[in-house]
Amino acid sequence: MGDRTVFVLAASADIGCALAGFFADDGCTVIGTYRARAAAAPLEGRPNVHLLACDVASRDSVRAMLDGYRALQRPWDVFISAVGLLDPIGPWTGLDFDAWEQSVIVNSTAQLRVLHGLYPLRRVGRPVHAAFFAGGGTNNPFTNYSAYCVAKILLIKTCELLDDEVPDLNAFIIGPGFLPTKIHQQTFANPEGAGPAYTKTAGFYKALGTEVTYRDIYDCVSWCIAQGREVVGGRNIAAAHDPWRDGGAALGASLRGHPDTFRLRRAGNPGTTAERGPDPT
């Protein structure tokens, strides 16, 4: 890992800060962004960490950050996006639509804007990697969290499309499982809007220590990088539940042989063949 440059979008977020620290510990050069610099305080002063201001909700801020990154003259090898918010929370028909749409943008296309701007600044000559995160609700309806859920589905499908279109990019998405990050304060601040998720989230906090740690997330991301595009490209890997640990040899072999696994597909009805869309070629 030590010869890699890792770009962490939202290194001021809990997961982003932890991953940036682990990559730096392993000898990587880390370029991290922050919206509130105080939240990136654990990374301050580290000789192999550079911090850049960036609010992904502002195109001007993204452009300024990209200018700052170019000035560093450090081609990147790994892109990590730890951006995420749950608000607005509540039944879709009762939400302010502008707030809903902005949440979808921040949770999906705003992050992709950064990757799109960074792609020409990648290290050329060897594969590069892009990791995103998707939480609960990507496999089933996520009641009262529609903006977050819709955006994460968009990211999942985009990873598959990037895998199809960009041969030197290993794009994948990680389901991190439950971690006690700041994002959950949005649920606790709106118990009425959250509905059943409020009680469920509180229950997760009571059961902490039974699922994943920040180190687990880092190890899972590292496993996906090591496996490369041939195994994990375009896929949604669950850090808490998929058998990637201890080398993950069986999982890697299974994914190589099953191109539809951990991707968005329309499953067929019992007794029928799964339907796929027409091939435009």
Q: What is the pLDDT along the chain (281 residues), one digit of tens a residue?
A: 668 999 999 999 999 999 999 999 999 999 999 999 999 999 999 999 999 999 999 999 999 999 999 999 999 999 999 999 999 999 999 999 999 999 999 999 999 999 999 999 999 999 999 999 998 667 777 899 999 999 999 999 999 999 999 999 999 999 999 899 999 999 999 999 999 999 999 998 888 776 789 999 999 999 999 999 999 999 999 999 999 999 999 999 999 999 999 999 876 666 655 444 444 44
Asked, for residue 62, whether it belongs to a domain, the answer is yes
Q: What six digits make up the tokens of 98?
A: 């502008």
Asked, for residue 262, whether it belongs to a domain, the answer is no
CB 177 within 8 A of CB 237: no
Asked, for residue 268, whether it belongs to a domain, the answer is no
Asked, for residue 59, whether it belongs to a domain, the answer is yes
CB 85 within 8 A of CB 10: no
CA atoms of 198 and 40, how far apart (whole Å): 28
- The domain total for the chain is 1
Asked, for residue 70, whether it belongs to a domain, the answer is yes
On the 0-12 / 13-18 / 19+ scale of CB atoms within 10 A, 118 is buried
Q: What six digits make up the tokens of 114?
A: 């950064």
CATH code of the domain covering residue 210? 3.40.50.720
Q: Provide the residue range defining the domain that includes 174.
A: 5-257
What are the strands of the beta sheet with 78-81, ordered from one edge? Answer: 49-53, 29-34, 5-9, 78-81, 128-133, 169-175, 236-238
Q: Is 142 helix (H, G, I), strand (E, B) or coil?
A: coil
Asked, for residue 201, whether it belongs to a domain, the answer is yes
CA atoms of 39 and 32, how far apart (whole Å): 12
Which residues neighbour 52 within 8 Å (Cβ) at sequence distance 6 or greater? 31, 32, 33, 34, 65, 68, 69
pTM: 0.93
Asked, for residue 72, whether it belongs to a domain, the answer is yes
CA atoms of 215 and 221, how far apart (whole Å): 10
Asked, for residue 134, whether it belongs to a domain, the answer is yes
